[in-house]
């Protein structure tokens, strides 16, 4: 039997990790993720989880400890944000390159300078190409659900890659919402202990992470690409399995009112929720608008995205991070590339950068974006391909 | 229907706590909720706000609250220095910790199309708790004038959060504020 409790995004992630029978947690507190780490250290101290909590002096060390622990076959969790993720950058590639199925909670936050503690996606987008799977949650329930699914996805021997579960800093990390949590036994049934393929063991020494020169390095990277490709189906399998346990349906992406939509907003995370609320209002005014929310950003769900776009004529792609100097920002670049690859480059696209450093995006902002998309669909003309929402110019 | 509540107080007065307790109580009644603080660093004594959303339907919106239906003023010294009625919807509710009548408060706030309720939360807190901690009194006053959650549900939340005498005294505070809150109609 599930029970309903009020949890913030940070609390929901810590609660899920507690139920996932982790062996090792190594993490360093940083706003707005701090509560996640505080709660987990408390659970370990109280004996509520039988795990080793490694107190480290930095995020670089946190992920280093996680890599070592994961290679022994342990189930491993870490969490970070912003500068902490940036400091981990080197080890992110080591974790994916050594095929460590580490699960990481990220309370997304802007990067310095100037110093800012509020929510945007600069941190994770800055590590976009690090070979990790990346999931973005819309609310605390999704954060809870994806953490539990993430261990199962990452540890599957067809995948063996690390995964980050992202929640918008403050907007989700510090907001309490209704969360339906599973019983501990149900989580144990859904997620049995990890079955590692190869482990490091002093009794039977092996070498991992050794020097790999031009004769083999490329093949190792090719295998990572293969593993990410394999993960599409594993994610879908785990989603179906999770649905049969909980009734809650997940997929690579979520669509809202897309079956006959003329235009859509594509957005990650909590903003997709606000977009749904506005779309519902606009639908009641007879405007055919919809929302596409990639739950999984890496690997990018391009096939599903193309299906979701259907016959829509204009797309507004929202990015909460700046890819300085790029033709489009991260999410929009992927959307445009997917449309091109599937021969749908006639769909009109414009890119809206919003919410940097935690600037709020309001229903009024989103309504204006939808209306602009409707105008683009009607006229076939994109006036501005790149816009900055709610900024003083 | 979605109801949005804004809480006004000062850092250290338990504004986040009451914004969450209201949500917790509504959750027990089967509602959907959100409770969030003013995002950013916290400073003791500085004016702060907290927010609660309550709805019968799942809440998907994640923007901040600009046009609350209800404003609760926990710290009376904010009246006049902070624009507590900012964005309040027409015919909204103001529930304030204030030691004079609702009519006096209405004069202080200027003309505003809202129902005004007051309660002397400090006196209740000092009488029962012996300490000037009056955030929970405002929960009692609020539930009397806006049935956002059942009083019994709030009592359950308090019992769970503060087991023992602290919880019992806070429940007494809530019940008395529930009885004593006054409207200007």
Query: To which H or E segment does residue A89 belong?
Result: helix A82-97
The pLDDT value recorded for residue B184 is: 81
pLDDT band at B185, cuts 50/70/90? Answer: low
Least confident of A89-98, A147-156, B108-117: B108-117
**CA proximity to A80, closest of A151, A179, A13:** A13
User: Interface pTM (ipTM) of the complex?
Assistant: 0.96
Mean pLDDT of A37-57: 97
| Interface mutation vs chain B, best among A110, A141, A170, A176, most B CBs within 10 Å | A176
Q: What is the least distance, in Å, from the CA of A139 to any CA of chain B?
A: 8
Burial group, residue A251, by CB count within 10 angstroms (0-12, 13-18, 19+):
middle
Cβ of B39 within 8 Å of Cβ of A5? The answer is no
Q: Which two structure tokens, joined as six digits, stand for A85? A: 């993720």
The pLDDT value recorded for residue B110 is: 80
Mean pLDDT of A379-393: 97
Average pLDDT value over all residues in chain A: 97
DSSP A267-319: --THHHHHHHHHHHHHHHTT--EEEEEESEEES--HHHHHHHHTT--EEEEEE
Chain A residue closest to B25 (CA)?
Answer: A6
Q: Which superfamily is assigned to A3-246 in CATH?
A: Thiamin diphosphate (ThDP)-binding fold, Pyr/PP domains (3.40.50.970)
pTM strictly above 0.95: yes
Other Cβ atoms closer than 10 A to A224: 16
Q: Could you tell me which residues are beta bridge partners of residue A123?
A: none
Q: Tokens 């050794």 sit at which residue?
A: A210
The pLDDT value recorded for residue A1 is: 59
The pLDDT value recorded for residue B42 is: 77
Mean pLDDT of A239-265: 98
Per-residue pLDDT for A178 more than 80? yes
Q: Which two structure tokens, joined as six digits, stand for A14? A: 């810590």
- First CA to last CA across chain B, in angstroms? 25
Secondary structure of B131-168 in the HEC alphabet?
CCCCHHHHHHHHHHHCCCCCHHHHHHHHHHHCCCHHHH
The reply to whether B91 touches chain A by the CB within 8 Å rule is: no
Range B120-126 contact pairs with CB under 8 angstroms and sequence separation of 24 or more: B120/B180, B121/B74, B121/B97, B121/B177, B122/B76, B122/B97, B123/B99, B124/B173, B124/B176, B124/B177, B124/B180, B125/B173
What is d(CA A299, CA A131) in angstroms, rounded to the nearest whole number? 9
What would be the CATH architecture of the domain defined by A253-388? 3-Layer(aba) Sandwich (3.40)
Mean pLDDT of B54-69: 97
For residue range B15-44, list pLDDT tens digits in order: 999 999 999 999 999 999 999 998 877 789
Q: What is the least distance, in Å, from the CA of A165 to any CA of chain B?
A: 18
For residue range A134-176, list pLDDT tens digits in order: 999 999 999 999 999 999 999 999 999 999 999 999 999 999 9
Nearest to A4 among B27, B34, B62 (CB): B27
Contacts of B27 in chain A (CB under 8 A): 4-6, 178
Mean pLDDT of A59-77: 98
**CA proximity to A322, closest of A331, A313, A314:** A331
User: Using the 8-state DSSP alphabet, how is residue B78 labeled?
Assistant: G
The pLDDT value recorded for residue B84 is: 95
Contacts of A390 in chain B (CB under 8 A): none
Query: Percentage of chain A surpassing pLDDT 70?
Result: 100
Q: How many folded domains does chain B comprise?
A: 1
Domain containing B11 — which CATH number? 3.40.920.10
Nearest to A176 among B35, B39, B62 (CB): B35
Cβ of A273 within 8 Å of Cβ of B33? The answer is no
pLDDT band at B51, cuts 50/70/90? Answer: very high
User: For residues A269-281, b (16+ Cβ closer than 10 Å) or e, as one string?
Assistant: bbbbbbbbbbbee
Cβ of A178 within 8 Å of Cβ of B24? The answer is no
Cβ of A170 within 8 Å of Cβ of B62? The answer is no
Query: Percentage of chain B surpassing pLDDT 90?
Result: 91
Domain ranges in chain A with CATH number 3.40.50.920: 253-388
Per-residue pLDDT for A322 more than 90? yes
For residue range A184-213, list pLDDT tens digits in order: 999 999 999 999 999 999 999 999 999 999
The pLDDT value recorded for residue A94 is: 98
């Amino acid at each position: 039997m599930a029970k309903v409790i009020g949890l913030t995004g940070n609390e929901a992630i810590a609660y899920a990790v507690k139920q996932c029978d982790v062996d090792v947690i190594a993490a360093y507190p940083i706003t707005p993720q701090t509560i996640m780490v505080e709660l987990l250290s408390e659970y370990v101290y109280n004996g509520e989880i039988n795990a080793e909590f490694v107190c480290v002096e930095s995020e670089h060390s946190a992920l280093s400890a996680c890599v070592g622990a994961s290679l022994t076959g342990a189930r491993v969790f870490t969490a970070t944000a912003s500068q902490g993720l940036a400091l981990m950058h080197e080890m992110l590639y080591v974790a994916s390159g050594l095929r460590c199925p580490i699960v990481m909670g990220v309370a997304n936050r802007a990067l310095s300078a100037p110093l800012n503690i509020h929510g945007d996606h600069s941190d994770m987008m800055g590590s976009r190409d690090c070979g990790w799977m990346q999931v973005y949650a819309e609310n605390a329930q999704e954060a809870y659900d994806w953490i539990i699914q993430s261990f199962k996805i990452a540890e599957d021997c067809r995948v063996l890659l690390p995964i980050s579960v992202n929640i918008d800093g403050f907007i989700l990390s510090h907001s309490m919402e209704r969360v339906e949590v599973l019983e501990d036994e149900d989580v144990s049934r859904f997620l049995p202990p990890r079955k590692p393929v190869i482990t490091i063991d002093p009794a039977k020494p092996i070498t991992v992470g050794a020097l790999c020169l031009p004769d083999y390095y490329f093949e190792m990277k090719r295998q990572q690409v293969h593993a990410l490709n394999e993960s599409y189906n594993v994610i879908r399998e785990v989603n179906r399995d999770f649905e049969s346990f909980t009734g809650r349906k997940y997929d690579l992406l979520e669509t809202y009112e897309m079956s006959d939509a003329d235009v859509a907003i594509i957005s990650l995370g909590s903003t997709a929720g606000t977009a749904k609320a506005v779309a519902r209002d606009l639908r009641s005014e007879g405007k055919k608008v919809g929302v596409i929310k990639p739950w999984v950003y890496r690997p990018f769900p391009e096939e599903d995205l193309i299906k979701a776009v259907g016959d829509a004529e204009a797309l507004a792609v929202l990015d909460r991070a700046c890819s300085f100097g790029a033709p489009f920002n991260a999410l929009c670049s992927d959307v445009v590339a997917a449309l091109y690859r599937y021969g749908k480059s006639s769909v009109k696209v414009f890119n809206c950068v919003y919410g940097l450093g935690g600037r709020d995006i309001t229903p009024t902002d989103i309504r204006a974006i939808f209306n602009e998309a409707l105008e683009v669909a009607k006229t076939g003309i994109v006036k501005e391909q790149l816009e900055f929402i709610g900024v003083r110019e | 229907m979605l109801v949005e509540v804004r809480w006004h107080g000062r850092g250290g007065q338990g504004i986040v706590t009451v914004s969450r307790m209201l949500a917790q109580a509504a959750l027990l009644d089967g509602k959907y909720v959100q409770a969030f603080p003013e995002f950013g660093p916290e400073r003791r004594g500085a004016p702060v706000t907290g927010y609660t959303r309550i709805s019968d339907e799942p809440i998907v919106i994640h923007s901040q609250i600009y046009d609350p239906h209800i404003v609760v003023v926990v710290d009376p010294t904010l009246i006049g220095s902070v624009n507590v009625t900012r964005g309040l919807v027409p015919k909204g509710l103001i529930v304030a910790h204030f030691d004079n009548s609702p009519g006096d408060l209405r004069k202080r706030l200027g003309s505003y199309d809202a129902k005004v309720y007051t309660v002397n939360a400090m006196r209740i807190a000092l009488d029962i708790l012996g300490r000037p901690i009056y955030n929970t009194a405002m929960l009692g006053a609020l539930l009397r004038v806006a049935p956002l959650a059942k009083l019994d549900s709030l009592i359950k939340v308090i019992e769970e959060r503060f087991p023992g005498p602290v919880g019992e005294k806070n429940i007494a505070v809530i019940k008395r504020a529930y009885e004593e809150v006054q409207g200007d109609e």
